[in-house]
Amino acid sequence: MKLYSNEIVFRGHPDKVCDQISDALLDVYLKGDKNSRCGIEVAGGKGKIFITGEVTSSIMVDTESIVKRVLSDIGYSTDYEIIDNIGKQSSDIALGTNMKVGGAGDNGMMFGYACRDTKELLPTAMVILQKLSMWYDELRKKDKRFLPDGKAQITGLYDNYNKLIKIKTFTVCYQNREDDREKTDKIIMDKCRSICGEYGINIEKFLINPTGRFYIGGFEGDAGLTGRKIVVDSYQSFAPVGGGAFSGKDPSKVDRSGAYKAREIAKRILLSNDNYKWCQVQISYAIGKEKPLAIYIETDRGSIKVDDSLYEECKPRIIINDLKLLDVCYEEKARFGHFRD
């Protein structure tokens, strides 16, 4: 037996707010111009939200109105100074990523993972936290005692086959108005028990707001930055994480498209053989080059030889076409984790 932990952050966590703003802007650019090249970064805190990075597009975007719409939707005030510092993508990068060349938007390695623990082909504890995060977002819209910021962590007891047996400690930090804590804590704990009950998992101990108070949150409580929650965005520590974040990047950036493709390949291989319990895929690229430098596939039964056809399939523009990555709502993916099915 062993103890192992994973975590998620709620939509109102400052880093997650920045991710959502970056992807909301990306969505608007791609909707207006499918050839837009974006690498949008957001930093927020203490009354200011700073938008930077690079965009090359045929359309203009009202950055301020999009930022305020995202803030309002999450449940925050829109009374922020919004600083738009977006520039154009480097022409040097464009030499290798234009439509004619179709090369990768950067160097890097990406990982994909799938396992048989749940119908989503994801680890049980990861799915539990995703469900909790989505439920909490709906709860705070209806019950004003609950505020947007928060995070949750599971420390689980696992057997020698990496199966979750029970939850040793379920830690939840949630922003609230602090005037009815006994009742609001009970609502949180009851929901945790309900979600875990779907998987036959018992909870031994709760830690709810361990400091004793959580009223000041969001950009007033902490600064936020795009791409600072890459473990939450991927597999919550159950699998390796690639070198780059997702949010704000158009799919020519293989940090994003390569990771989505690696997940798709991992699911496909897992389902191709009933004997596999899990599958992990690594893909690596060089900027401006179409074909991956390497593809490595591993399962609980050993590594798998990679056919040349998979290298062709993993060219960025083929990935974009196959997975329809120019028609995805990336803001929605940024809310609760990019891999949920």
Catalytic residues: 13, 15-16, 41, 54, 151, 214, 222-223, 228-229, 249, 253, 255
Q: Collapsing DSSP states into helix, strand and coil, what is residue 17?
A: helix
Residues counted in the chain = 341
Can you say whether the dihedral through the CA atoms of 159, 185, 138, 246 is positive or negative? negative
256 in Cβ contact with 270 (< 8 Å): no
Q: State which amino acid sits at residue 223.
A: A
67 in Cβ contact with 77 (< 8 Å): no
Q: Which residues contact 141 (CB under 8 A, 6 or more apart)?
A: 75
Q: What angle do CA 12, 30, 325 make, to 5 degrees?
A: 85
Q: Which residues contact 291 (CB under 8 A, 6 or more apart)?
A: 311, 312, 314, 315
What's the rounded Cα separation, in Å, for the pair 236 and 337?
Answer: 9
Q: Which residue has the tokens 């945790």?
A: 192
Secondary structure E strands in 104-144: 108-115
